[in-house]
Amino acid sequence: MASMDLQALTIFVEIVDGGNLAQAARTLNMSRANVSYHVARLEKSLDAELLRRTPQGIELTPMGQQVYEHARNIVHESALMREAVNASANDRQLSGKIGLSAPTGFGQLVMGPWLIEFKKKYPAIILEVRLENFIDNLVKDGVDVAIRVTQEPPPMVVARDLGPVRYALCASAEWAQRHRVPQTLAELRRTPIITSGGVSGRVRMTATQNDHGEEIEFVPTLMSRSYPFVLDCILGGLGLGLVPDYMTHARVQAGEMVSVLADYQFSINRNHMYLMYMPNRYQSRATITFIDFLTDKMGLLRMVRKSDT
């Protein structure tokens, strides 16, 4: 296939994956006019309309859907071929750019050392790390891999279930000395709790003991979607904290924090953590290696958590 044809197919696939011409132009570092030109040339060569402009953006025509499925495979195989030609026998020479999006707390407190280890092992790989709690479109936002906490992943992504998110009730050692630590769930309902707030400002927590779960809904006395800030508030003695257990283990071991109602398992909205990526997007060897690396690290983390119970 001629290079011009391959370029046009690549542009077409980027438009569909990114949702619009402007995003494809940014991804490919081209002008929007140039992108439009190549799409028009592609449609003319096929004598078919592939994209239909609507008030909401663009949509594929029935013929465009067929062409997209073939073009995606061609672009993917072409990228694999180029990578195979350029690949070094030494895995340390893996190169490319990987966009990662991860929750702020988990990214800073848990993944940070992992990313440093990965970067030292593969110095030629460029990591673009975004610590954020929301992302609408992986392709549009230039994200190759996303870690997200949710009840159910979006249907359009490939998602690896990394397991349920377990929460811990804890307090600073100072707070525990100055206040009565709740001994029952009834007492817990009368205790100020610091955590991440829900959309409505209320949090629905499930406390499970011996396979029996009890749901508790409360309004936090302080709420923030930044778990590092929530942790600072707990350590500062502002109240009882409900946070993911990965944030508390080391501090409980060091005596900075005390566990509260440790016989219970706590969860919020029965959330799980997922590793997500787009199914139709070309995955380079670097990205595949990175996904496997994160999956292994999460497996080790789960083993540590089970050994602590």
DSSP for 236-302, please give it: TTSSEEEEEGGGTHHHHHTTSEEESSTTSEEEETT-EEEEEE-TTS---HHHHHHHHHHHHHHHHHH
User: What does the DSSP 8-state code read for residue 166?
Assistant: P
Instruction: Reply yes or no on whether the pLDDT at 243 is more than 50.
Output: yes
289 or 1: which leads in pLDDT: 289
What is 98-149 written as a DSSP string?
Answer: EEEEE-HHHIIIIIHHHHHHHHHH-TTEEEEEEE-S--S-TTTTT-SEEEEE
Is residue 240 within 8 A of residue 158, CB to CB? The reply is no
Please give the class, per CATH, of domain 3-86.
mainly alpha
| 104 residue type, one letter | T
Task: Write down the pLDDT at residue 142.
Answer: 67
Residues paired with residue 208 on neighbouring β-strands, in sequence order: 213, 265
Confidence of residue 1 (pLDDT cuts 50, 70, 90): very low
> How many C-beta neighbours within 10 Å does residue 278 have?
18
- State the chain's mean pLDDT as an integer: 81
Say if 3-86 and 91-164+272-308 have the same CATH topology.
Answer: no
How far is it, in rounded angstroms, from Cα 205 to Cα 209?
A: 13
In this prediction, residues 56-77 reach a mean pLDDT of 80
Which pLDDT does position 87 carry in this prediction? 57
In angstroms, rounded to a whole number, what is the distance separating the alpha carbons of residues 128 and 149?
20
pLDDT tens string 83-99 = 666 654 454 577 888 88
What is the per-residue pLDDT across 107-165, written as a single tens digit (0 to 9) for each? 888 899 999 999 999 998 889 898 876 666 665 566 888 898 888 887 778 888 888 88
Q: Where are the domains of the chain?
A: 3-86, 91-164+272-308, 167-268
Query: Widest CA span of the chain, in angstroms?
Result: 78
> Can you give the pLDDT at residue 2?
41
Residues 6+ apart with CB under 8 A from 131: 102, 103, 104, 107, 108
Query: Which helix or strand (DSSP H or E) is residue 85 part of?
Result: helix 62-86
Tokens linked to 185:
């769930």
The DSSP letter of residue 181 is P
- Give the residue carrying structure tokens 């992992």: 114
Ramachandran region of residue 211, left (φ > 0), alpha (ψ -120 to 50) or beta?
left
pLDDT of residue 203: 83
Which token pair is 209?
């003991």
> 8 versus 73: which is more confidently predicted?
8
- The predicted pLDDT at position 197 comes to 63
Q: Check: CB of residue 42 under 8 Å from CB of residue 34.
A: no
User: Over the stretch 151-195, which tens digit does the pLDDT of each residue have?
Assistant: 888 777 888 888 888 888 999 999 999 988 989 888 888 888 998
Share of the chain above pLDDT 90, in %: 11
Judged against a pLDDT cut of 50, whether residue 207 lies above it is answered with: yes
| Dist. CA 191–CA 222, nearest whole Å | 12
Higher-scoring residue by pLDDT: 290, 53? 290
Q: Would you say residue 17 has pLDDT above 80?
A: no
What pLDDT digit, counting tens, does each position of 53-65 carry?
877 678 888 888 8
pLDDT value at position 80? 65
Predicted local confidence at residue 4, as pLDDT: 46
pLDDT at 233 over 80: yes
- Rounded Cα gap, residues 272 and 293, in angstroms: 19
pLDDT tier at 213 (50, 70, 90 boundaries)?
confident
pTM above 0.95, yes or no: no
Q: How far apart are CA 173 and CA 211, in angstroms?
A: 30
Count of residues for the chain? 309
Domain 167-268 has CATH 3.40.50.9100: no
Q: Which helix (H) or strand (E) is 223 found in, with range?
A: strand 222-223
Q: Is the pLDDT reported for residue 258 higher than 80?
A: yes
- Per the structure block, which two tokens stand in for 63? 């013929």
Pick one of 3.40.50.880, 3.50.50.60, 3.40.190.10, 3.40.470.10 as the CATH number of 91-164+272-308: 3.40.190.10
